[in-house]
Amino acid sequence: MIDKQTEIYKMFQGKQKLNEPMNKSTSILALQEILESEKGDPNKPSGFRSVKAPVTKVAASVENAQKLPICDKCGTGIVGVFVNLQNHHRQPECYVCTDCGTNLKQQGHFFVEDQVYCEKHAREQVTPPKGYDKVTMFPK
């Protein structure tokens, strides 16, 4: 359905003369008013408005930072998903073997002297007493 009352339709049909001003939408009128009000200041480039930078509230950001768990490996605050290892927190990208750097997500981990290792490197870190064999014990 075509709206035959629009200015563009009338112009295409030849019912409106080219010299005759077209009716303008309210958004165009508002934009023209803004541009005309800014013409008075020669220091401002046309089309730009001056705005204030956002102000950070120090008290709010300090409170939020204290609530974030801290990554045991890199020491940064963890936002989002993290790995909880017996009260040790790690970001998913920091959940890696201390020796080889392999991601432990699909392998599991072993603690040896407060360090996280894959099974291979955990075995290398532990020396059993003479006469005993190394046996891997998985947590229950």
Average pLDDT over every residue of 94-108 = 89
| Mean pLDDT, rounded, of the chain | 76
Burial (Cβ within 10 Å: 0-12, 13-18, ≥19) of residue 16: middle
Measured CA to CA in angstroms, residue 120 lies from 24, 95, 98 at distances of 75, 16, 11
CA dist., res. 122 & res. 100, Å (int): 11
What is the domain partition of the chain in residue ranges?
A: 7-38, 70-140
Pick the CATH number of 70-140 from 3.30.360.10, 2.10.110.10, 2.60.40.420, 3.40.50.970: 2.10.110.10
The predicted structure's pLDDT at residue 97: 92
Mean pLDDT of 40-44: 60
pLDDT in tens, 44-97: 565 666 777 877 665 555 555 567 888 888 988 888 888 888 888 888 898 999
Share of the chain above pLDDT 70, in %: 72
pTM for this prediction:
0.45
C-alpha pair distances (Å), 117 with each of 122, 125, 130, 135: 5, 9, 23, 15
